[in-house]
Structure 1
Amino acid sequence: MPEAVHIEPNPGRGPDLQRIMTDVAQGDQEAFSVLYDAVAGPVFGTVRRLLRDHAQSEEVAQEVLVEVWRRAAGYRPERGTVINWILTLAHRRAVDRVRSVEAAAVRDHNAALLDRTPEFDEVSEQVEARSEREQLQRCLGSLSEIQRQSVTLAYYQGLTYKEVAETLSTPLGTIKTRLRDGLIRLRDCLGVTV
């Protein structure tokens, strides 16, 4: 339930809003002009406290005052003072605007996320690449330890055959044989045709 803003009536000061509201309800434009002058400041203040943005506050305050003109016949004195009724309308309208702005921000954020969503081709390529990496890992696992070390050093770390031989303290000819045998096994495991 929205928080109502209460302003105590000042007998003898300012216009009789109850009487003026009765005239406004009957379509009296001059009475509305007097009502407008009396309540525009408090309406703007109420709205401004919630919205904080000056331009939006002015816009919402105008909407509230138009609503007062249109709904004047619906005002019931037994439910509260004129100013409280008007400020309750203002509070509700400001809360609606805040919710509307927040919802728009969420929609904009979601739309931006959709714009950044990769197209189908990119997604399928990523899935395919991941699948190929997983298959390569399985095939590397099928090599002997020394073949896997040799292939990894030569092809993933970029070492030359001589550097692989030095790193593994193994003769160069043995490294070449292990690499050749390991690559043949990888080719067969991956289903690559030459």
Structure 2
Amino acid sequence: MAAMLTRDELAGALVQAGQGDRSAFRIVYEATSAKLLGVCLRILPDRQTAEDVLQDTYLTVWRKAESFDPSRASPITWLVTIARNRSIDRLRSAAPMRRAVPVEDAHDLADDAALASETIEQADEVGRLNTCLEQLEDKARGVIRTAFLEGVTYDALAQRENVPLGTMKSWIRRGLMRLRSCLET
């Protein structure tokens, strides 16, 4: 099992990976691959697809590590965002081929591994994030949590809330702007 890294150690390894340091990249992979696989598994229908997306995620991390800025985001947040976005992209690209399953069946499909949300909550920024989330209005807080922690698409959220897609995007955008402002203070 990989040793747990502090936020600063992980950020340092990401910065070094951005400079082409393969051993630093290995450290990032060993410290975060289980967490990121959990994120992929929460969004994607099967383990093989999740593992493929995890590989794509780390290819993206290798190519874009130089753009990581530790003053703008925690390293785990940056990595989870990449994994989440890649997973949703894969899910959308495969959408015509998969059959719809009622949301009630999701419990039966759950992986035994720790939930991605539980893993993320262990990060050192969760306290601040939760404080800032609590300052948002209930509807914005709910849709942001659902979109970013559960991987539900904006379109699916709009259908759930019975609002136009543009309205849902506006709610999330305004909520994220308020959240960002809170986190920057």
TM-score by length of 2: 0.48
TM-score by length of 1: 0.46
User: Which has more radius of gyration?
Assistant: 1
